[in-house]
Amino acid sequence: MFVKDIMTREVITLTSDTSLKEAAEILLKNNISGAPVIDEKGGLKGLLTEESLIFRDKKVHLPTFVNISMGFLTFGMHRLEEEIKKITADKVENVMEREIDTVSPEISLEDIATMMVEKERYYYPVVADRNVVGIITKRDIVRSLSRTKK
């Protein structure tokens, strides 16, 4: 069995100028953990995941944390809401992962499962001819296992 046999074909995508607020809403509405970021021709530019929204650079940006914390303590909820509005107005382009691994639709399930475990990454765009043709996640693999006949 190959990635093309179990991948999610209806891909929810984002553009680099999508606001982080809108991107978060799209992820939540569609119950997905990430989305490819594409250019106007459908080419892959990057990847936005829940982790990139939450962690950004894998650490809390101290001035932002202090501003939010102190704003809440010193200026109350209004200041906190203002800070959150600033953060969520930022664009996908500024937080998306640019160096991402992609996979071919022809890769075997064994190979993609191994890749997921070794790299501790469970969400891969499936690319053919420079365009995103699907997404493969650990959920797709688990779903395929549940459908396998004994």
Region for 15 from its dihedrals, namely left if φ exceeds 0, alpha if ψ lies in -120 to 50, beta otherwise:
beta
Per DSSP, 119 falls in state H
Number of domains comprising the chain: 1
- Digit-coded pLDDT (tens) for 57-108: 444 444 444 444 444 444 455 555 665 555 555 789 988 999 999 999 999 9
- Residue 149 is predicted with a pLDDT of 67
pLDDT of 143 > 60? The answer is yes
pLDDT of 133 > 80? The answer is yes
For 77-116, give the secondary structure using H, E and C.
HHHHHHHHHHHHHCEHHHCCECCCCCECCCCEHHHHHHHH
Residue 117: which pLDDT band, with cuts at 50, 70 and 90?
Answer: very high
Which residue range(s) make up the domain with 115? Answer: 3-147
Stretch 8-33: mean pLDDT: 92
CATH at residue 50: 3.10.580.10
- Residue 56 is predicted with a pLDDT of 56
pLDDT of 49 > 80? The answer is yes
